[in-house]
Amino acid sequence: MAHVDFPPCRLVSWPEIDRWSDLIAEKVRSASWNPQVIVGLTRGGWVPSRMLADRLGTKHLAALRAQHWGVTATPSGSAELTEELATRLDQKRVLVVDDITDTGQSLQLAVRHVADRGALEVRSATYLHISHSTYMPTYFAEEVARDAWRWFVFPWNYWEDLRTLAGKVRASDGMPAKEVQRELKARCLLDVPLSHVERALAPL
């Protein structure tokens, strides 16, 4: 994805997250496959991996750190794994989880890394899969057509995305929050309460 200053966004709700988690868990179960280890890509796959571990009854949850997107909707160079897994995964069935495959590079790297750690079988899952991604996860809840691309504002990234985007649409420090709220809606399709805009604009 090219650099986008004002990406069209879509707010994702917790009920959607629940529904997508159920859907993926159902797909994994109906494939008669149960992972012994779930590896969540941080940070986006952290909550999804925990949701799936709960549904699938998987006790071994590990984190793998991948970095690509610098700030909201701005990829920084190519994806890389910046913290690798500490444990071996010899002879294990492993599910690698992220929130979304956009370019798909992070997930692809992670799956390769897990295989290199000795896993018996590696599968992958994401809530959303953008159709232009070069890597297709084994399981996903929804496919997004490339021309319907959005920056998905997940509940675990809400304040970070809001801070970034509110900062970008604010033309000057003196711009009233109400105007920033209007600009967020007009430019980024983000409809959020005024009190949230005020909080996002306040220094951390």
Given the structure tokens 């009854």, which residue do they identify? 57
CB-count exposure of residue 137 (10 Å: 0-12, 13-18, 19+): buried
| Interacting residues with ligand ADP between 67 and 86 (CB under 6 A) | 68-69, 79
Binds ligand ADP by CB under 6 A, chosen from 46, 127, 140, 151: 151
Under a CB-based contact definition with an 8 Å cutoff, are residues 120 and 92 in contact? yes
Between 17 and 36, how does the x/- string for binding to ligand ADP read (CB under 6 A)? Answer: --------------------
Q: Name the one range near ligand ADP by CB under 6 A: 54-62, 99-107, 174-182, 195-203.
A: 99-107
Query: Does 140 participate in binding ligand ADP (rule CB under 6 A)?
Result: no
Q: Which is nearer to ligand ADP, 101 or 177 (CB)?
A: 101
Residue 18 has a CB neighbour count (10 Å cut-off) of 12
- Rounded distance, CA 26 to CA 184, Å? 37
Given the structure tokens 């986008």, which residue do they identify? 4
Least Å from the CB of residue 32 to ligand ADP: 27
Whether omega for the bond prior to residue 43 falls within 30 degrees of 0, making it cis, is: yes
Query: Does 49 participate in binding ligand ADP (rule CB under 6 A)?
Result: no
Q: Which is nearer to ligand ADP, 159 or 179 (CB)?
A: 159
Total residues binding ligand ADP (CB under 6 A): 16
Query: Does 152 participate in binding ligand ADP (rule CB under 6 A)?
Result: yes
Binds ligand ADP by CB under 6 A, chosen from 21, 58, 103, 124: 103
Under a CB-based contact definition with an 8 Å cutoff, are residues 131 and 103 in contact? no
Beta strand 151-153 pairing with 93-101? unpaired
And the tokens for 148?
A: 């319907």
Residue numbers of the site for ligand ADP (CB under 6 A)?
44, 68-69, 79, 98-107, 151-152
